């Protein structure tokens, strides 16, 4: 799980793994590792600390990843624009791994995802989901799509 800080990576993971959600923002330091079974596949989810202006993503946490969930906040367009830079780090470390995109916080007012933004920030091979960690919409679909792509 990679993306800018406060886009909801931990919330999505917790919703998917433990079906819990908290509104309180608690920044992730380093990495949290969780597991979940998707069909017959054991998915080990590395929830990596969000990128911010001062600390880029530590590529060490990407080691051995079979696929990536790129997470952005649909109410903060900047977090989607930064996909390009994050992808540079990811692909530099892992090559062309399967990617699914979560445009998170679909339940919040002020959705600012436009066609132009998608056109410039999302690669055509990536599967895109508008998700809500709060109400769970598209969360199982997101991880199932990633597993499908990894297993292909």
Partner 1 sequence: MPQSLPDNINQTLMQRLNPAYLRLDATMKVTQTSSNLSEYGFADITEGVDATEHIDFLVGVDPAQALSLPVVASPNGHPVCIELLPEQGDLNVIIADAREQFDLQQKLQQKANENQLLLEKQRTLLGELHAAKAELARRNTELEEASRLQSSFLSGVSHEFRTPLTSILGHNDLLRKSLAAETRPKSDKKQIYTDAVRRASQHLLSLVENLLDHGKLDAGEITINPRPVQLSTLQNDLEMLLRPLADAKQIDLLMQRQYPVDESVYIDESRVRQCLINLAGNAIKFTDKGSVTISMAHKDDELQLRILDTGIGIKKEDLAKIRQPFWQVADTGKAGTGLGLSITERIIELMGGEMTIQSEYGRGTEVSFSLNAPATDASINLDQAREAAFKDQVSILLTEDDLDIAQLVVILLEEANAKVTHVENGELALQALQRDSFDLVLMDLNMPIMGGYETIRRMRDDGNHTPVVIMTASALEADMHKAQALGCDGYLLKPVEVADIVAIADQIIVPLE
List the structure tokens of 64: 């051995």
Least separation in angstroms between CB 64 and partner 1: 3
Which residue stretch of 13-21, 59-67, 117-125, 133-141 sits at the interface with partner 1 (rule: CB under 8 A)?
59-67
Residues of this chain, 109-138, that bind partner 1 according to CB under 8 A: 110
List the structure tokens of 121: 């920030």
Q: Is 125 exposed, middle or buried, given 0-12, 13-18 or 19+ CB atoms closer than 10 A?
A: exposed
Considering the complex, state which of residue 54 and residue 152 has its C-beta at the smaller distance from partner 1: 54
> Rule CB under 8 A: is residue 151 a binding residue for partner 1?
no
* Cβ-proximal residues to 49 (8 Å cutoff; 6+ apart), any chain: 5, 27, 28, 29, 30, 31, 55, 57, 58, 61
Residues that bind partner 1 (CB under 8 A): 5-6, 25-27, 29-35, 44, 49-50, 52-55, 58, 60-61, 63-66, 76, 78, 110
């Amino acid at each position: 799980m990679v993306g800018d800080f406060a886009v909801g990576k931990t919330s999505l993971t917790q919703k998917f793994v433990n079906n819990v959600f908290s509104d309180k923002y608690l920044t992730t330091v380093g990495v949290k590792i969780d597991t979940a079974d998707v069909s017959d596949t054991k998915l080990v989810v590395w929830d990596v600390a969000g990128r911010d202006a001062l600390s880029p993503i530590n590529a060490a946490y990407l080691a051995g990843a079979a696929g990536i969930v790129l997470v952005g906040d649909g109410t903060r367009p900047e977090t989607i624009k930064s996909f390009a830079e994050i992808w540079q780090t990811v692909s530099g470390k892992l090559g062309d791994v399967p990617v699914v995109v979560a445009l998170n916080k679909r339940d919040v007012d002020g959705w600012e995802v436009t066609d132009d933004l998608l056109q410039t920030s999302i690669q055509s091979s990536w599967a895109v989901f508008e998700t809500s960690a709060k109400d769970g919409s598209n969360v199982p679909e997101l991880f199932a799509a990633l597993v499908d792509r990894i297993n292909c």
